[in-house]
């Protein structure tokens, strides 16, 4: 795994490759062959805070899992993927309704790129006036794009009512999104829409369903540890015990 661009000096080792430079405000890191983590930043309490999305290169085109945090970074990301891989994004799937997952959907929709969310995410996005995907699914769904197959899994309420995880079975990559907390953090982050009582059960369901995950990608901060599920459960148990 290597990080290929540096901005803000934010907790990443990097190798600067001028000819493949992503747009300003973005870090693109190679997870493994054909899998890349895209990290964008938003000021929180005066400091740049990272949000992770992911894209996957297939022989048919690129798959985007969640959009950049800022709408204006979405088109430059598409350009960067084209320059780096000579592939166009041909599908985007978002894992819940918050803007760190959905901010770029309007740009993708305008470009005619098929965008997907769960029907639950659509309902919440309408209610909160967040961006909407063009297409919806109502249950756990398997997608096949080129040589890649991936599955959505809804484990129940946690960070939000609608949080999904994405599983790539061939590579054993679990994209946990904001349901999963990075080992780099010692708090649960934004919990205004969370169900703290059901969140532990959701994490346990994910752990049972994907016990052999080789990579676990949280929605924010460092993504290099396979202990993120256990860490999330520890944070939740600590939080719930403090309330009792």
Q: What is the structure's pLDDT at 23? A: 57
**62 alpha-carbon distance from chain centroid:** 15
Q: Is residue 18 predicted with pLDDT exceeding 50?
A: no
Residue 111 CA: distances (Å) to CA of 26, 33, 78, 104, 203 = 21, 27, 10, 11, 35
Instruction: Place 44 in a pLDDT band, splitting at 50, 70 and 90.
Output: confident
Which run of H or E residues covers position 64?
Answer: strand 62-65
Tens of pLDDT, residue by residue over 108-155, are: 999 999 999 999 999 999 999 999 999 999 999 999 999 999 999 999
Q: What is the structure's pLDDT at 1? A: 42
pLDDT above 70 covers what percent of the chain?
A: 89
Instruction: Place 242 in a pLDDT band, splitting at 50, 70 and 90.
Output: confident
Measured CA to CA, the distance from residue 164 to residue 152 in angstroms comes to 7
Q: What is the structure's pLDDT at 3? A: 38
Q: Hey, where are the domains in the chain?
A: 2-243
Q: What is the structure's pLDDT at 2? A: 38
Instruction: Place 87 in a pLDDT band, splitting at 50, 70 and 90.
Output: very high
Instruction: Place 17 in a pLDDT band, splitting at 50, 70 and 90.
Output: very low
Across 57-85, average pLDDT: 96
Instruction: Place 45 in a pLDDT band, splitting at 50, 70 and 90.
Output: confident
Residue 36 CA: distances (Å) to CA of 1, 124, 156, 178 = 9, 28, 27, 18
Instruction: Place 16 in a pLDDT band, splitting at 50, 70 and 90.
Output: very low
Strands 142-145 and 148-153: antiparallel
Tens of pLDDT, residue by residue over 222-236, are: 999 999 999 999 999
Instruction: Place 88 in a pLDDT band, splitting at 50, 70 and 90.
Output: very high
Q: What is the structure's pLDDT at 153? A: 98
Q: The tokens of 238 are what?
A: 């600590």
- Highest mean pLDDT out of 10-19, 36-45, 193-202: 193-202
Instruction: Place 22 in a pLDDT band, splitting at 50, 70 and 90.
Output: low
Q: Are 43 and 69 in contact (CB under 8 A)?
A: no
Q: Is residue 4 predicted with pLDDT exceeding 90?
A: no
Beta strands in 134-243, from DSSP E residues, in sequence order = 135-137, 142-145, 148-153, 165-168, 173-177, 215-218
Q: The tokens of 214 are what?
A: 């080789």
Per CATH, is 2-243 categorized as 3.40.50.2000? no
């Amino acid at each position: 795994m290597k990080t290929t661009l540096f901005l803000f000096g934010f907790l990443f080792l990097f190798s600067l490759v001028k000819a493949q430079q992503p747009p300003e405000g973005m870090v693109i890191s190679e997870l493994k062959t054909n899998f890349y983590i895209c990290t964008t930043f938003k000021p929180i309490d005066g400091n740049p805070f990272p949000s992770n999305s992911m894209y996957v290169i297939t022989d048919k085109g690129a798959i985007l899992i969640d959009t950049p945090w800022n709408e204006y970074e979405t088109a430059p990301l598409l350009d960067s993927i084209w320059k780096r891989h000579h592939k166009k994004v041909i599908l985007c799937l978002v894992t819940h309704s918050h803007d760190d997952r959905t901010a770029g959907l309007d740009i993708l929709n305008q470009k005619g790129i098929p965008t997907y969310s769960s029907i639950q995410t659509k309902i919440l996005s309408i209610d909160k006036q967040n961006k909407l995907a063009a297409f919806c699914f109502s249950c756990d769904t398997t997608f096949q794009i080129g040589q890649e197959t991936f599955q959505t899994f809804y484990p129940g309420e946690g960070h939000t009512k609608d949080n999904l995880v994405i599983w790539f079975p061939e590579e054993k990559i679990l994209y946990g999104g904001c349901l999963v907390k990075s080992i780099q953090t010692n708090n649960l982050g934004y919990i205004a829409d969370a169900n703290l009582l059901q969140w532990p059960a959701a994490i346990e369901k994910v752990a049972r369903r994907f016990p052999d995950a080789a990579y676990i990608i949280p929605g924010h901060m460092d993504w290099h540890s396979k202990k993120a599920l256990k860490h999330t459960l520890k944070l939740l148990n600590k939080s719930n015990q403090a309330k009792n």
